[in-house]
């Protein structure tokens, strides 16, 4: 059983990006559409989604597939998204000047996105 787990972890490609300038909820809305889907189906979904968060996630998925095919020799047609996570990142705080010498804080949220591609089992 331990050998199978090691083999499973060997046949997966991970990609992690940090400090993406978008809200966690906006990224999660897109990630929920693609979790558990095949690679080719994911590409079609991400190209047709009307959300602005779809483009960075499309770049991430294609980067993970390129890593899997180049580094591990996996076929892109056999890949599917086994895990897709979004976590909150740091909050960039800026001050905007207001009237009478006061200031107004602007909070710009970031997120970390992790995507894991695995190869489908062949019987």
In this predicted model, what pLDDT tens digit does every residue of 41-88 receive, in sequence order?
999 999 999 999 999 999 999 999 998 988 888 888 889 999 999 999
Domain of 92: which CATH number?
3.90.470.10
Alpha helices (H) in the chain, listed in sequence order: 2-10, 24-34, 39-48, 54-71
Question: How far lies 81's CA from each of 24, 62, 87, 97, 109, in Å?
Answer: 19, 11, 17, 45, 26
What predicted TM-score, i.e. pTM, was given to this entire model?
A: 0.82
Predicted local distance difference test score (pLDDT) of residue 13 = 87
State the residue range of the domain holding 75: 2-119
Sole residue written with tokens 């190209």: 47
Instruction: Assess contact for 80 and 117: CB atoms under 8 A.
Output: yes
Predicted local distance difference test score (pLDDT) of residue 76 = 87
How many structural domains are present in the chain?
Answer: 1
């Amino acid at each position: 059983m331990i050998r199978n787990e090691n083999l499973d972890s060997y046949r997966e490609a991970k990609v992690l990006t940090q400090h993406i300038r978008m809200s966690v909820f906006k990224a999660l809305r897109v990630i929920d559409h693609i979790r558990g889907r095949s690679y080719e189906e994911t590409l079609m979904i991400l190209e047709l989604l009307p959300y602005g968060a779809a483009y960075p996630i499309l770049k991430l998925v294609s980067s993970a597939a390129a890593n899997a095919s180049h580094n591990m020799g996996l076929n892109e047609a056999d890949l599917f998204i086994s895990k897709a996570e979004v976590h909150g990142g740091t909050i960039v705080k800026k001050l905007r000047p207001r009237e009478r010498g006061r200031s107004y804080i602007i909070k710009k949220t970031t997120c970390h996105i992790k995507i894991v591609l695995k190869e489908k089992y062949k019987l």
